[in-house]
Structure 1
Amino acid sequence: MALSPPRRPGALRDRHGRGMRGPAVLAGPHGAPRQRTSRDRFDDLVLAVVTDIESRWERHLGLVEYAVEDAPQVPDDWDSGTVPLSSLVRGSGSRPTRLVVFRRPIEHRSDSRSDLEAMVLTVVVEQVAELLGIDPEVVDPRVGGGDE
């Protein structure tokens, strides 16, 4: 019977020669993971779309707060068959307009990263168009109006 060489104390296993794996490798400062979560990537995607639109329409938009939430709070007596992808609450007085994008319903309807990017763009552009009272194609020409 062959004996394996003694392991040195504290050595971690690397069974298949692929390098170290697992949470110990991924942990960053204060135990936070170094890899970005899907929530972080979604937030970045929404921020990129909002920044692009805001840079072109900020003069017309006024004060708008943008937010991302996981899912909408749908009442028990909700009679619509679909879950909303976003919410637009117009501001009044000193209260700003609030545009909320719901992450989970959008991710659920997207099959790929490009679908997700297109859906986030469409949702934000449609809400901004609603706020401004213009067609979505005017806000961003990448959003087509063929699905009406």
Structure 2
Amino acid sequence: MDSSAHRSPTDPPQRRGHRDRHGRGLRGPLAPPQVPISLTRSELFDDYVRESVERLERRWPQLVDVEFAVQEVPLPERGAADPESIPLGRLIPAKQGGKSRIVVYRRPVEIRAKAREDRAALVHEILIEQVADLLGLSPDAIDPRFDEE
């Protein structure tokens, strides 16, 4: 005898081969939240920027007055058809009464650096170059390990 003949129309449909046979539901996340596997690419990228900024601020306390940001992609510029001319970061000098801003562009960085370690190193390099421009110093003066990374 077919069991579906005795069900009311409001009963949820029963599925065969359902993996939650005992009604326990999903037992938990595959990884704890603090483990990088549970972070999105965007969150992981934000962490690279945050770690690099903290490292630079320890050496250059005046960077506390600088705003750091991540954007997906730069706004298109006229005549920038060459992929090598797409900026990876940008310094926006302070306007009257405002703060200077350094922006890192996530997608162009991810395209150039596939591995996590390479991405983190490239983000740090970009930030060093932008801070050097802001402070009017060489990148080596900002971080003595600049050429090593």
TM-score normalised by length of structure 2? 0.71
Stretch moving more, 120-129 or 73-82: 73-82
Opposite residue 45 of structure 2, the aligned amino acid is F
> Which position in structure 2 is the counterpart of 1:3?
none
| Equivalent-residue separation in structure 2 for 1:13 and 1:76 (angstroms) | 55
2:53 is equivalent to residue 50 of structure 1: yes
1:25 is displaced (CA, Å) by 5.6
Question: Runs of 4 or more off by more than 6 Å in structure 1?
Answer: none
User: Residue 126 of structure 2 is aligned with which of 119, 123, 128?
Assistant: 123
Matched, 1:107 2:110: yes
Q: Measure, in 2, the Cα distance between the counterparts of 1:49 and 1:63.
A: 16
The Cα RMSD (Å) is 3.1
Structure 1 match to 2:80: 78
Question: Structure 1, residues 9-33: CA drift from partner, whole Å, max 9, x if none?
Answer: 998428xxxxx98xx9659xxxxxx
Query: Alpha-carbon deviations, 1:16-73, whole Å to 9, x = none?
Result: xxxx98xx9659xxxxxx92101000001100000110121123x4621100011101
Aligned to 2:19: 13
> How far is 1:77 from its partner?
3.5
Residue aligning to 2:6: none
Identity value in percent: 35
The normalised TM-score by structure 1 is: 0.71
Secondary structure, counterpart of 1:100 in structure 2: strand
SS of alignment partner, residue 68 of structure 1: strand
**Contact persistence 2:90–2:102 (CA under 8 A):** yes
Larger Rg: 2
* Number of equivalences: 124
- For the structure 1 residues 26 and 99, does the alpha-carbon distance in structure 2 shift closer, same or farther, using more than 3 Å as the test? same
